[in-house]
Amino acid sequence: MSILTTKHLGKVYEGKVPYTALNDINFSIEKGEFVAIMGPSGSGKSTLLNVISTIDHPTSGSVCIDSEDPHEMNDDQLAHFRRNTLGFVFQDFNLVHTLTVGENIMLPLTLEGVPVPEIKKRTAEVAALLGIEPLLSKRTFEISGGQAQRTAVARAVVTNPSLLLADEPTGNLDSKATKDVMELFRMLNETKNSTILMVTHDSFVASYCKRVLIIKDGQLYQEIVSDGNRRTFQQEIVDAMSLLGGEPHDLI
């Protein structure tokens, strides 16, 4: 079952000289897949995630998520769709600093009007799953970057979304926190069958995925599928990116 399908997806930014950021992008992601989007700087990977996540609109083509095209929805439908069907994890965490960790996790359920007992139950369950139960009463400034990203992941999955979208989720983390967060994503994918689409420039991070889609000049350029060996998969990713002339930070 396809959770996400893009067909002939294009994005052109108008100006004195129109810029084509995406050109005829076609791919699908099945239920339970863990997929990374990679590419050199300026390749269009962030634009692709923005269009899929409804932050931006396509110029042509379509995006289908859970059998619906969110770009055809009105504002109220789209807000409901984002809160229930999509989960978002960002590089800078995007936590609400006036709320506790627990209140941040509860926020999407509160906005949807879920009954309080159900909110408390689901928050406790996801906090236990992600190992952040001792943090629930803490403020965001009292926790580390790795703990903040775990909180952001908990907030993203507490609604049981059909698709979890992550934009450079380890970009602000040190190497230990990066490994911890990626193990967390892998656990969610393997034990909860979470479907995850992630943009990253980091080959180590991408090696946790099952499939990597590489974008070049706004077009799908290459697909690499893991054989289950993370070390060899990471080397394949590094080799592919090297052929594209990636900058040193693209090959970490």
- Determine what percent of the chain is predicted with pLDDT higher than 90: 87
Strands 163-167 and 86-90: parallel
Confidence of residue 250 (pLDDT cuts 50, 70, 90): very low
- In degrees rounded to 5, what are phi and psi of residue 48? -60, -45
Reading the block at residue 201, the tokens are 């420039």
Per-chain mean pLDDT for the chain = 92
Query: Where do we find the tokens 């995925």?
Result: 209
- Residue 100 scores a pLDDT above 70: yes
Which pLDDT score, from 0 to 100, does residue 92 have?
A: 84
- List Cα–Cα distances, 8 to 13, 78, 150, 171, 188, in angstroms: 16, 22, 35, 30, 30
Residue ranges covered by each domain of the chain: 2-251
- Residue 13 scores a pLDDT above 50: yes
Enclosing H/E stretch for 193: none
Best CA proximity match to 108, nearest among 139, 86, 76, 138: 86
| Ranges 33-42, 87-96, 132-141, 199-208: which has the least confidence | 87-96
Query: Where do we find the tokens 């042509």?
Result: 60
Which pLDDT score, from 0 to 100, does residue 249 have?
A: 45
Tell which phi-psi region holds residue 24, choosing left (phi > 0), alpha (psi between -120 and 50) or beta.
left
- In degrees rounded to 5, what are phi and psi of residue 57? -110, 140
Reading the block at residue 153, the tokens are 């992941």
Q: Which CATH class is domain 2-251?
A: alpha beta
- Residue 47 scores a pLDDT above 90: yes
* Strand arrangement of the beta sheet that strand 60-65 belongs to: 19-30, 2-13, 60-65
